[in-house]
Amino acid sequence: MLNYPLMSNNILHEDIDSLIDFLKHTDRFTNGPKVREFEEAWSGWLGVKHSLFVHSGSSANFMTMAGIREIYGKGEVIVPAITWESDIASIIRADLVPVIVDVDFKNLAMDTKEILGRITKKTKAVFLSHILGFNGLSNELLKVLQEKNILLVEDVCESHGATFRNEKGKIKKCGSVGFVSNFSFYYAHHISTIEGGMICTNDDRFYQYMRMFRSHGMLREADDLDFRQEWLKQYPELKEEFLFTVPGFNMRSTELNAVIGLSQLRRLDTIIDKRRENYQLFIEHLDSERYYTEFDNEGNSNYAFVVLLREPDKELFQRIVRVLSEEKVEFRRGTAGGGNQVRQPYVQKYIPGILAEEFPRAEHIHDYGLYIGNYPGLEEEKILAVCRLLNAV
């Protein structure tokens, strides 16, 4: 029995020790100086001007789309068929129109040509997901978005530390390229604050809006005094303490989660390196005749190994699922978000008439793809054993 979980040992003693130490010496628990410290440390690590800590990657998605709708008005947002539920749900909830496009096998992200083919005058944003550690950006895409003044939102919830090489050959971290980017610190991700997420941007105005959206839409959450004055001048009859500018949420996290995040951030780069090594070993030993292995590995920061059949062979896939279950290897079918979102009831309800078959590559991944864990403490022998198992099924 391989006994191979999706994730192991993600919260370490050093994280718990720093939390206990913090608890002994603080009397402030809700969003405060530690959250601020974590946000600043994260901005430094990523290379962006502003970061805002929220209580999940999905909160980050919902706030981002609400902010885009609030500032830029109604329109369409291009989003992939392979992504997380909240990427599409956030567009729907913000009263924007999701335009779903198919993905590319090489990085499981939206196919650039498909995106370009769906851009219209109504396109407000492209909401790109970097799936399972693969960079999803291309220089061609960035060029067109810039020319057409379309916002790029990067979902980096599964890909902390993945990188992209821009047209000048400069290596940039995914999440530092777009207008805004969202991260998740859920338990199984690269680092964890148990639950948590981050919204990152270089845009001062959007950042002020995100600060307000995080806390009930309240003006006093904005920390730019000129920005505050603009609002106060318009509403002199309202009290500064209770000026609700936008239809906001309460998406705040706590000092406790930020302390865990700060402790984890110290080892993030080491974790990424270890996972890259694991991934390399896995991909080199997997049978490339049976499994798709030509992923675009440059800048990959993987936290789960993708097992994707080349051919649509239902019986073989069932055997793989059975053998992995017998060996107690934990897996998730369909890869990120369980596969083609178009098959899900919420998409069928809100985009009536959309057909799953219009997304053939997402369909193939849905039926013949899965992922298994890649965590820092994963033993070399276990990686080789799971490859032997998959190759022999």
Ligand X SMILES: Cc1ncc(COP(=O)(O)O)c(C=O)c1O
Widest Cα–Cα separation across the chain:
74
Q: Which listed residue (10, 83, 163, 341) binds ligand X by CB under 6 A?
A: 83
Pairing status of strand 76-80 against strand 180-184: unpaired
CB of 147 closer than 8 Å to CB of 123:
no
* Cα distances (Å, whole numbers) of residue 388 to 159, 218, 275, 283, 392: 27, 57, 20, 12, 6
Q: What is the dihedral of CA 333, 104, 121, 165, to 10 degrees?
A: 110
Q: Which CB, 135 or 208, lies closer to ligand X? A: 135
Residue nearest to ligand X (CB): 57
Q: Which listed residue (75, 197, 373, 376) binds ligand X by CB under 6 A?
A: 197
Q: Which listed residue (43, 86, 123, 254) binds ligand X by CB under 6 A?
A: 86
Q: Which CB, 82 or 383, lies closer to ligand X? A: 82
Q: Which listed residue (31, 51, 58, 340) binds ligand X by CB under 6 A?
A: 58
Q: Return the SS3 of 218.
A: strand
Considering the rule CB under 6 A, would residue 306 count as an interface residue with ligand X?
A: no
Considering the rule CB under 6 A, would residue 263 count as an interface residue with ligand X?
A: no
Q: Which CB, 133 or 218, lies closer to ligand X? A: 133
Considering the rule CB under 6 A, would residue 369 count as an interface residue with ligand X?
A: no
Q: Which CB, 84 or 279, lies closer to ligand X? A: 84
In this structure, the number of other CB atoms found within 10 A of the CB of residue 76 comes to 20
Q: Which listed residue (84, 279, 295, 371) binds ligand X by CB under 6 A?
A: 84
CB of 71 closer than 8 Å to CB of 213:
no
Considering the rule CB under 6 A, would residue 77 count as an interface residue with ligand X?
A: no
Considering the rule CB under 6 A, would residue 157 count as an interface residue with ligand X?
A: yes
Considering the rule CB under 6 A, would residue 129 count as an interface residue with ligand X?
A: yes
Q: Return the SS3 of 326.
A: helix
Nearest of 196, 223, 195, 219 to residue 207 by alpha carbon: 223
- The residues of the shown chain that bind ligand X, judged by CB under 6 A, are 56-58, 61, 83-84, 86-87, 129, 155, 157-158, 184, 186, 197, 336
